[in-house]
């Protein structure tokens, strides 16, 4: 496994595109790369769609014989159908997929792999890691563990907290494991932990339920910045004042603005850039240019975003 920083991943993207541009004469046969990703159901996936479409345009301009076909799906069932349609209608040289859910997409991706297709998985890993040739993701265990370590220190290793989960996926499992493994070594009690599907509205509703159910909550970990916005709104409407911290993750620009402003409830975040899809598409395209293939696992570091370093992670023109 190769661990890389967010900046290094950006440089890797640029280097991969440069490889494509300078070696285009080496690959004259038509190459089709399918990109299957969730639709923009929340801010982070909106960023994924944006960066995937940008990569498709840039690769086509630099390398005309590579077709990058981007398909978005609003659900796991729709994504399975999209894969079936893509496979039936054309020969796929490569598939870059960000699975809507891990379990439901593992079998369909394995079937595509059986046809000789190069498989690149991004972010939400499949339940069988032997299927992919390339895996690009953030270090989700570190996202959870680094957040929990900071929170435990600020709470003095005691108190009551509630947790919101995302969508049932490998990355959600990893984030929860990283977080709870740290909390187990403290006297902090997790009062409740339920799914809100990385959705702001669902997180708002779930947090309202938590507030009604538990009279003393010292902190909230929302696992994701989209959910964090819903959590913060629910807390604001409740008028509750005992909640010291509400934390998320992923580095949404609205949350980075809170960190930059030293917001007392949300003074930190962790990075998880949607631009990783772009890097994965570039790295996949490089398989067909005659250069040394990039295979294996590439993971981003997950340092805490604090007021001191927040400018490094703030991109005001980004959709996320």
Domains and CATH numbers, the chain: 2-139+273-313 (3.40.50.2300), 140-260 (3.40.50.2300)
Task: Output b/e per residue, 181-219; b: 16+ Cβ within 10 A.
Answer: ebbeebebeeeeeebbbbbbebbbebbbebbeeeeebbb
CA atoms within 13 Å, Cβ hemisphere of 98: 31
Three-state SS sequence of the chain = CEEECHHHHHHHHHHHHHHHHHCHHHCCCCEEEEEEEECCCCHHHHHHHHHHHHHHHHHHHHCCCEEEEEEEECCHHHHHHHHHHHHHHCCCCEEEECCCCHHHHHHHHHHHHHCCCEEEEECCCCCCCCCCCEEEEECHHHHHHHHHHHHHHHHCCEEEEEEEECCCCHHHHHHHHHHHHHHCCCEEEEEEEEECCCCHHHHHHHHHHHHHHCCCCCEEECCCHHHHHHHHHHHHHHCCCCCCEEECCECCHHHHHHHHCCCCCCCCECECCCCHHHHHHHHHHHHHCCCCCCCEEEEECCCCECCCCHHHHCCCCCCC
pLDDT value at position 27? 46
Q: In the block, which residue shows the tokens 């030293």?
A: 262
pLDDT value at position 178? 97
How far apart (Å, rounded) are the C-alpha atoms in residues 289 and 302? Answer: 32
pLDDT value at position 28? 55
Instruction: Name the residue among 14, 97, 21 with its Cα closest to residue 59.
Output: 21
- 230-270: per-residue pLDDT in tens? 999 999 999 999 999 999 998 899 999 999 999 999 999 99
pLDDT value at position 100? 92
Could you say which residues of the chain have pLDDT below 50? 1, 3-12, 14-15, 19, 21-27
State phi, psi for 271 to the nearest 5 degrees. -85, 145
User: What's the pTM?
Assistant: 0.73
- 101-154: per-residue pLDDT in tens? 989 999 999 999 999 999 999 988 899 999 999 999 888 999 999 999 999 999
To the nearest 10 degrees (0 to 180), the angle between helices 276-285 and 43-62 is 30
């Amino acid at each position: 496994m190769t661990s890389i920083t967010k900046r290094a991943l950006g440089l890797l993207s640029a280097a991969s595109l440069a490889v494509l541009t300078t070696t285009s004469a080496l690959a004259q046969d038509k190459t089709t790369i399918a990109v299957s990703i969730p639709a923009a159901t929340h801010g982070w996936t909106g960023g994924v769609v944006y960066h995937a479409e940008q990569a498709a345009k840039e690769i086509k301009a630099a390398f005309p014989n590579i077709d990058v076909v981007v398909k978005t799906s609003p659900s796991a069932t729709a994504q399975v159908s999209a894969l079936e349609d893509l496979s039936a209608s054309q020969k796929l040289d490569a598939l870059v997929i960000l699975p809507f859910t891990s379990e439901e997409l593992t079998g369909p991706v394995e079937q595509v792999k059986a046809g000789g297709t190069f498989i690149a998985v991004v972010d939400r890993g499949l339940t069988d890691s032997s299927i992919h040739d390339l895996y690009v993701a953030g270090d989700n265990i570190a996202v959870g563990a680094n957040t929990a370590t900071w929170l435990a220190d600020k709470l003095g290793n005691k108190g009551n907290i509630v947790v919101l989960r995302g969508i049932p996926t490998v990355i959600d499992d990893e984030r929860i494991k990283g977080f709870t493994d740290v909390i187990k070594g403290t006297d902090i009690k997790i009062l409740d932990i339920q799914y809100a599907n990385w959705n702001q509205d669902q997180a708002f509703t779930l947090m309202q339920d938590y507030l009604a159910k538990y009279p003393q909550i010292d902190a909230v970990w929302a696992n994701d910045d989209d959910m964090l916005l819903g959590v913060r709104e629910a807390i604001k409407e409740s008028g509750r004042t005992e909640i010291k911290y509400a934390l998320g993750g992923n580095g949404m620009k609205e949350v980075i603005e809170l960190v930059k402003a030293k917001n007392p409830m949300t003074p930190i975040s962790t990075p998880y850039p949607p631009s990783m899809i772009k890097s994965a598409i570039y790295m996949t395209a490089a398989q067909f240019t005659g250069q040394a293939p990039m295979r294996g696992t590439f993971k981003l570091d997950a340092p805490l975003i604090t007021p001191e370093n927040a400018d490094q992670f703030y991109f005001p023109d980004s959709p996320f």
